[in-house]
């Protein structure tokens, strides 16, 4: 029973860490088109920048949550090993 629980926690730790890495990779891949100094900066450009920032912030917060979950699973696993 205890071995199954520890193995399950190990798998959950790996899944949470991989999802965190994948989310941070996705948030770092989004690029915003640069505005040339010869262009006029308009509302569409500002909207594009704000949208990109919002998407990046959402992905970063999800990645941070996945990292926190991985840390919690690792803590639970450590406690199980301590009381084994």
| Number of structural domains the chain divides into | 1
The CA angle 13-19-11, to the nearest 5 degrees, is: 25
Q: Is residue 37 part of a domain?
A: no
- pLDDT top residue among 70 and 35: 70
How far is it, in rounded angstroms, from Cα 46 to Cα 41?
A: 7
Host domain of residue 70: 2-30+42-82
Q: What is the pTM of this model?
A: 0.75
Q: Is residue 21 part of a domain?
A: yes
* C-alpha atoms less than 13 angstroms from C-alpha of 9 in its C-beta half-sphere: 17
Q: Is residue 35 part of a domain?
A: no
Q: Is residue 52 part of a domain?
A: yes
**Does position 67 have pLDDT exceeding 90, yes or no?**
yes
* pLDDT score recorded for residue 38: 83
pLDDT tens sequence across 1-58: 888 998 999 999 999 999 999 999 988 886 766 767 787 888 888 888 888 889 889 9
Confidence of residue 72 (pLDDT cuts 50, 70, 90): very high
Placement of tokens 């190990």 in the chain: 10
């Amino acid at each position: 029973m205890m071995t199954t629980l520890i193995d399950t926690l190990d798998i959950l730790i790996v899944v949470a860490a991989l999802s965190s890495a994948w989310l941070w990779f996705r948030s770092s891949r989004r690029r915003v088109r640069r505005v040339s100094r010869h262009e006029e900066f308009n509302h569409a450009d500002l909207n594009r920048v704000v949208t990109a920032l919002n998407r990046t912030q959402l992905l970063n917060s999800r990645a941070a949550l996945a990292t926190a979950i991985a840390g919690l699973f690792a803590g639970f696993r450590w406690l199980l090993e301590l009381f084994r």
